[in-house]
Chains A and B, each alone.
Chain A
Amino acid sequence: MADKFVIAASAAEAAALRDGDSAFLAGGTEINRLGSSVDAGTLISIGRIAELDGVSIQEDCVRIGAMCTFQDIVENKDVPQFLKDACLFMGSRTKRNMATIGGNVALGRTDSYLCATLLACHAGIILRDAEGTSIRRCVKGYLEDRAQYSDMLIEALLIPGDAVVVSKRYSNTVQSHAVLTVSAGLSGGLLRIAVAARDTYLGLLPEISTAIAGAEKPLSDEAILKLVNGCPQLAFRQDMFGSPEYKRYLLAVTIADLVAKVRGGEA
């Protein structure tokens, strides 16, 4: 439970204030809720930092400030539709008015609304460390090595200008946690398949992407299921959302469907 509250005036100040016992207060939808997963002694409010706001078109990408809310993104004309679609996975308009893209990536949950889409489009991320240095990474690198970056401030996400992505989220109701969110994306000529599988795995599936991209003909559902079964990171568990076999099947047929769509220009 936090007992200290500070308001940072700049990205450099916020990054310098962060230590092991603090957290950035962005939209607060996770930090402040009852039963939050975030336990911090100090909350550093980052709501008034101009560098973290706004959407801008850059040479080869769209830059989205970390404090942009899901609803800001939905309403912005420069954001690609596939990212708007991912933001709409958060069913509550009220929560979309508060939750930020930076907070979502920082949490890196296995039922994340946005991470599969960001991985599939090969999004970049701008971080600020405690010394004030600005660092550019890809979201993949950030999520794979969260321990290294967890104290840094996310300043912005960079969406490649050539990216197309199709995503699908499975949950019991729009308000429920997702059991699977799957994305297939094309950027820089490469096919990327990413999955957020609740309590199991968040990341790209490079073995499957390479096999599908290298095949002469579209792979059958059965062939993709075989690839899914061969992924050690997809160690699904039996839970209220279904059996491991069912989740692997759902993932396989969804990958087949999304790859066909993204290749067929339906993105």
Chain B
Amino acid sequence: MDMKICFKLNGKDVSVTTDPLRRLIDVLREDFGCKGVKEGCSEGECGACSIILNGKMVTRCIIPVGAADGQEIMTIEGVSATEKGQTIVQAFADGGAVQCGFCIPGMVIAAYCLLNGNPDPTEDEIRLGISGNICRCTGYDLIVESIRLAAKRGGDIWKK
């Protein structure tokens, strides 16, 4: 049976009347046009579908939309519209972090969550921060370096 589900999406109050068991990933992509986030494994392992739910990074392929009622969601579309998001996206482009690009929205979300809590992470902390995100192309080194670059370039914005 359909249910009215209300939540905050990228800073705006939204609602959808749908089957509460539909996967959040499908609702965000199909009903709200948030196509920036990808579906890789569908089982919570690869991190391609990462979003920020109430300030914490989670994988949306394994959340039914009913569980999002009353929550606050930020997708890659919301993150990349911010100054912080732009700093990361630019650092990824300049740092050569991207090959096929499939994992990158999830990596940007991971970097955003990491730098918000830790503006000057060590290499180990960066690797831990992206531990839920699998990249099959790059070998991670340039992603790690690009996150370091974003930390450096962003400076004080990460302390806001």
Taking a contact as CB atoms under 8 Å apart, the answer to whether A28 and B45 are in contact is: no
In the bound complex, what is the Cα–Cα distance between A91 and B44 (angstroms)?
Answer: 12
Residues of B within 8 Å of A175, CB to CB, are: 45, 134
B-side interface size class = 20 to 34
- A93 near B57 (CB under 8 angstroms)? yes
Indicate whether A93 sits within 8 Å of B21 (C-beta atoms), given known contacts A5-B66, A28-B67.
Answer: no
- Which of B58, B66, B128, B134 is within 8 Å of A98, CB to CB? B58
CB distance from A223 to the nearest CB of B (A): 39
| Residues of the A chain whose Cβ atoms lie less than 8 Å from the Cβ of B67 | 25, 28, 45, 47
Which residue of chain A has the shortest Cβ distance to B63 in the bound complex?
A: A28
Residue B69 interfacial (CB < 8 Å): yes
Residue of B nearest to A48 (CB): B70
Least Cβ–Cβ distance between B64 and chain A, in angstroms: 6
Q: How far is the CB of A104 from chain B (nearest CB, A)?
A: 14
Q: Does A71 sit at the interface, judged by CB under 8 A?
A: yes
CB of B43 within 8 A of chain A?
A: yes
22 A-B pairs whose Cβ atoms sit less than 8 Å apart in the complex: A5-B20, A5-B66, A7-B66, A28-B62, A28-B64, A28-B67, A32-B61, A33-B42, A33-B44, A34-B42, A43-B66, A45-B67, A91-B131, A92-B45, A93-B57, A93-B128, A93-B132, A94-B50, A94-B110, A94-B131, A174-B131, A175-B134
Give chain A's interface residues, CB within 8 Å of chain B. 2-5, 7, 25, 28-29, 31-35, 43, 45, 47, 71, 91-98, 174-175
